[in-house]
């Protein structure tokens, strides 16, 4: 797992209102403290709290290795209202990912996922392929490797849904552990020192629960993602 510098830094704020604020979370940054990542000493909650000088409430989560739009409420009431919207599927989410192989032009993945307690939940993701590239990377028995840049739209919010769904259709996200391709992940780590996962939350869209206005928040790719796009020949 990549570690962020302990030097003081600020998060890129991509939206700020009177009761909501969103940042472009870097790859490798945890949303909040967890016992499962004892190596981390930086967390988005604490950084943003210190940056804007008030308490913040994360209304959803992004995996540590996933970058992009991360939304916070600025009071408990808004936190509760937004969490209801996320739970009810009222927030439109879009992601970009670089995956192994050439994906279809578009597709739908309707594949239930099992929680740790054994409960099975419905899960649905649609995708469109934005670009495809074949590069001279000899991985395994092939002299070249194929990759696709895809836009993913989940309509449910299950844990690791996009990672599991792309692995299910045999197009795992590059850098995904443990759901991805070990050979690909090892190659990218050894050859390019890439320690992250090529998944980026590009956009959130929802109706503001108080004003009723439509809020659309976008975040540009982080440097690690852009670097891999350049390396693989994808246009920005």
Residues designated catalytic: 63
Contact 198, 175 (CB under 8 A): yes
């Amino acid at each position: 797992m990549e570690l962020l510098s302990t030097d003081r830094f600020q998060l890129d704020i991509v939206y700020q209102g009177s009761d909501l604020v969103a940042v472009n979370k870097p790859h490798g940054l945890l949303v909040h403290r967890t016992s499962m990542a004892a190596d981390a000493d930086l967390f988005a909650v604490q950084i943003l709290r210190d940056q804007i000088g008030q308490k913040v409430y994360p209304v959803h989560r992004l995996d540590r290795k996933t970058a992009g739009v991360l939304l916070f409420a600025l009071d408990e009431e808004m936190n509760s209202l937004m969490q209801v919207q996320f739970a009810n599927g009222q927030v439109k989410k879009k992601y970009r990912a670089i995956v192994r192989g050439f994906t279809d032009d578009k597709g739908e993945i309707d594949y239930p996922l099992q929680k740790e307690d054994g409960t099975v939940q419905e899960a649905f993701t649609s995708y469109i392929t934005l670009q495809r590239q074949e590069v001279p990377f000899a991985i395994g028995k092939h002299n070249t490797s194929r990759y696709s840049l895809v836009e993913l739209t989940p309509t449910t919010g299950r844990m690791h849904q996009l990672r599991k769904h792309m692995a299910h259709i045999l197009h795992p996200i590059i850098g995904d552990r443990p759901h991805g391709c070990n050979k690909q992940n090892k190659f990218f780590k050894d050859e390019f020192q890439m320690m992250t996962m090529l998944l980026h939350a590009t956009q959130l869209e929802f109706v503001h629960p108080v004003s009723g206005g439509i809020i659309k928040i976008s975040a540009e790719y982080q440097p690690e993602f852009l670097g891999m796009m350049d390396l693989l020949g994808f246009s920005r």
